[in-house]
Amino acid sequence: MIILGIDPGLASTGFGAIRCDKATPFLLKCGYIKTSPKEHISNRLFQIHSDVNHLIHLLHPDLIAIESVFSLVRYPKAGILLGGVLGIIYLSVFQNNTSMIEITPKEVKNSLVGYGGANKYQVNETIKKLLKITDVKSFHASDALAIALTAFYRKNPGRK
């Protein structure tokens, strides 16, 4: 089984793919899709759509796990823009007829670190230990891998 985790963001959308053939998942690919703030929002959303479609065609995931997002009341524009990113990702998932689940940030932290208030460094260190890797290039990629791993553990309780 291949799980593609996605950490949505307009400036940087993280992705992380894991293969789960046996009890231990391992890293296939991770990184992030970076868009330029100098570009119009339509170009940025199209880039995310194109790159997510490319990842789906390249990896053929059995499941896509997306971090469910929230917006702070004091930053309504950020929430609206993030909604656009989510819409584009949902469209890619639908167009490729792939299964999808959403996972909250708190579930990711609880599942991997055992504490819903864990910070990015703690999550990153846990990802490296679980996948037996030495480095993850960005926190966006690390978060996406954390989402993919949480989806794996949700489907396979008792493994870790």
Question: Which range, of 8-12, 60-64, 147-151, 155-159, averages the lowest pLDDT?
Answer: 155-159
User: Has domain 2-155 been given CATH number 3.30.70.3040?
Assistant: no
pLDDT > 70? residue 6 = yes
What was the pLDDT predicted at 79? 80
Domain ranges (residues) in the chain: 2-155
Which tens digits make up the pLDDT trace of 71-112?
656 667 878 888 899 999 999 999 999 999 999 999 999 999
To the nearest 5 percent, what fractions of the chain are helix, strand and coil?
50, 20, 30
Phi, psi of 17 (to 5 degrees): -115, 135
What was the pLDDT predicted at 115? 83
Alpha helices by DSSP H, listed for the chain, are: 41-59, 76-95, 105-112, 120-131, 139-155
What was the pLDDT predicted at 75? 67
Which tens digits make up the pLDDT trace of 21-53?
877 899 999 999 999 999 999 999 999 999 999
What was the pLDDT predicted at 11? 95
> Is 0.85 surpassed by the pTM of this model?
yes
- The CA-atom distances, in angstroms, between 33 and each of 7, 51, 110 are 10, 7, 26
What was the pLDDT predicted at 120? 86
pLDDT > 90? residue 141 = yes
Which DSSP letter does residue 137 get? S
Which residues contact residue 130 at a Cβ distance below 8 angstroms, ignoring those fewer than 6 apart?
25, 112, 149, 160
What was the pLDDT predicted at 155? 74
